[in-house]
């Protein structure tokens, strides 16, 4: 039975890996197209484009990996149904080996997802943000020339009066007209590019920020010193999320040492651990549908569509505000797991009763 379980687990994994490889390749190409402005606008090399696209893949992989796991398991079970292997397993009392293979496959995939979501994704997110910040600093540094307007990105123009040997900029002016509802203008007597804990910033001294709305309402705020994140001038990137860049071990250690478990920390940990629960739920769902032989010869809904539909339903339930606020973000996953477990136990009772009466 042990050899049979390992053989079946390898069979499930081969289908899942093949599907996952195709999905990763296609998403990698799409991601390269999405961030192609790194080359076309920011003047970086193709290696920077490929590297940044590669660093974004773990975040995307966590989202669709459990779907590939479910479809891979479903395809393998469907092929076993076509080859009559499921009938042989059930008639020869090999159901425990089949279930053991499914649990081995599910557990292995869940561990992989936990590794990606808790350690790999935070690391690549931090590296991507650091790399993006350095690209931004390089872009601003190359485009700023004294007494010459330079368009850093479409809608953002910068001009400086001069550049000193220590890197200080004089008579700094930047006009940000990307947002149609509000136009911002930054004016400062001097500025310097520096780096803090959140990335590269422009330290503006003795200046003002001017706002112009789409209804021509004007306002101005003067400052003695103002730190302007370079991302605010070069793209729609928001401020960096420090929790997203920390692995779960560091988050837990920090929360224990400080004695503070705030809502953001708990939410991040639940989200990361919940990715493994999604793998378990989708595998139990597929096992409940496809792990039992039948005599139908056609007219079935493709199992891939059923798995995708279950994934969309699970995400949709969790996105409903009145459900998510009351039962948490994993409510859809928990519902899918509960329903699938009931169906699986019911079908096991019919096809392979656990308890058999023994006559004496």
Percent share of the chain, pLDDT over 70: 91
Under DSSP, the state recorded for 145 is: B
Say whether pLDDT at 72 is over 90: yes
Domain boundary among 183, 217, 237: 237
Asked if 125 and 18 sit in the same domain, the reply is: yes
Asked if 84 and 148 sit in the same domain, the reply is: no
Asked if 55 and 94 sit in the same domain, the reply is: yes
Cα 308 to Cα 73, 258, 301, 321, distances in angstroms: 13, 42, 12, 22
**DSSP string covering 305-340:** HHHHHHHHHHHHHHH-HHHHHHH-TTHHHHHHHHHH
More confident residue, 72 or 349: 72
Asked if 123 and 164 sit in the same domain, the reply is: no
What are the φ and ψ backbone dihedral angles of 166, each rounded to 5 degrees?
-85, 10
Say whether pLDDT at 141 is over 90: no
Say whether pLDDT at 356 is over 50: no
Within a 10 A sphere around the Cβ of 239, how many other Cβ atoms? 10
Say whether pLDDT at 238 is over 70: no
Structure confidence by residue, pLDDT tens digits, 172-202:
999 998 887 889 999 999 998 887 766 778 8
Asked if 63 and 87 sit in the same domain, the reply is: yes
Say whether pLDDT at 92 is over 80: yes
Asked if 43 and 126 sit in the same domain, the reply is: yes
- Cβ–Cβ under 8 Å, residues 207 and 226: yes
Structure confidence by residue, pLDDT tens digits, 258-294:
888 888 899 899 999 999 999 999 999 999 999 998 8
Say whether pLDDT at 352 is over 80: no
Say whether pLDDT at 165 is over 80: no
Asked if 13 and 114 sit in the same domain, the reply is: yes
Asked if 79 and 154 sit in the same domain, the reply is: no
Domain boundary among 207, 237, 267: 237
Percent share of the chain, pLDDT over 90: 50
Instruction: Decide if 161 is inside a domain.
Output: yes
* 337 CB-near residues (< 8 Å, 6+ apart): 277, 280, 281, 284, 285
Instruction: Decide if 360 is inside a domain.
Output: no
Asked if 32 and 49 sit in the same domain, the reply is: yes
- Cβ–Cβ under 8 Å, residues 182 and 211: yes
Instruction: Decide if 357 is inside a domain.
Output: no
pTM of this prediction? 0.79
- Cβ–Cβ under 8 Å, residues 146 and 239: no
**Domain membership of residue 278 as a residue range:** 2-135+245-351
Asked if 223 and 260 sit in the same domain, the reply is: no
Instruction: Decide if 95 is inside a domain.
Output: yes
Instruction: Decide if 358 is inside a domain.
Output: no
Domain boundary among 220, 237, 254: 237
Instruction: Decide if 104 is inside a domain.
Output: yes
Instruction: Decide if 359 is inside a domain.
Output: no
Asked if 228 and 172 sit in the same domain, the reply is: yes
Query: If pLDDT is split at 50, 70 and 90, which confidence band does 155 have?
Result: confident
Under DSSP, the state recorded for 215 is: T
Say how many domains are in the chain.
Answer: 2
Instruction: Decide if 187 is inside a domain.
Output: yes
Asked if 203 and 310 sit in the same domain, the reply is: no
């Amino acid at each position: 039975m042990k050899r049979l379980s390992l053989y079946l687990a390898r069979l499930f994994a081969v289908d899942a890996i093949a599907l996952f490889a195709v999905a990763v390749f296609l998403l990698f190409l799409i991601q390269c197209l999405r961030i192609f402005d790194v080359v076309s606008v920011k003047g970086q090399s193709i290696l920077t484009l490929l590297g940044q696209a590669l660093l974004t893949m773990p975040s995307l992989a966590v989202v669709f990996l459990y779907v590939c796991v479910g479809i891979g398991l479903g395809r393998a079970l469907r092929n076993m149904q076509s080859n009559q292997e499921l009938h042989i397993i059930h008639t020869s009392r090999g159901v425990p080996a089949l279930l053991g293979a499914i649990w081995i496959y599910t557990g292995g995939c869940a561990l992989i997802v936990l590794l990606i979501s808790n350690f790999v994704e935070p690391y690549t997110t931090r590296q991507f943000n650091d790399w993006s910040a350095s690209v931004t600093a390089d872009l601003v540094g190359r485009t700023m020339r004294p007494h010459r307007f330079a368009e850093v990105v479409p809608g953002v123009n910068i001009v400086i009066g001069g550049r000193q040997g220590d890197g200080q900029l004089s008579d700094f002016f930047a006009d940000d007209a990307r947002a149609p509802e509000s136009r911002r203008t930054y004016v400062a007597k001097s500025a310097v590019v520096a780096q803090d804990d959140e990335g590269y910033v422009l330290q503006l001294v003795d200046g003002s920020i001017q706002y112009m709305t789409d209804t021509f309402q004007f306002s101005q705020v003067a400052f003695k010193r103002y730190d302007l994140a370079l991302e605010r001038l070069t793209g729609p990137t928001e401020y960096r999320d420090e929790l997203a860049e920390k692995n779960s071990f560091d988050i837990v250690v920090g929360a224990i040492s400080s004695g503070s478990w705030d809502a953001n920390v708990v939410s991040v940990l639940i989200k990361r651990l919940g990715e493994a629960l999604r793998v378990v739920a989708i595998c139990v769902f597929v096992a409940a549908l496809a792990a039992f032989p039948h005599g139908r010869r056609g007219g079935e809904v493709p199992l891939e569509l059923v798995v995708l539909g279950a994934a969309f339903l699970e995400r949709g339930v969790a996105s409903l505000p009145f459900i998510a606020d009351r039962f948490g973000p994993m409510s859809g996953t928990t519902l899918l797991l509960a329903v699938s477990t009931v169906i699986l136990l019911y079908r096991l009772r019919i096809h392979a009763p656990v308890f058999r009466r023994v006559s004496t």
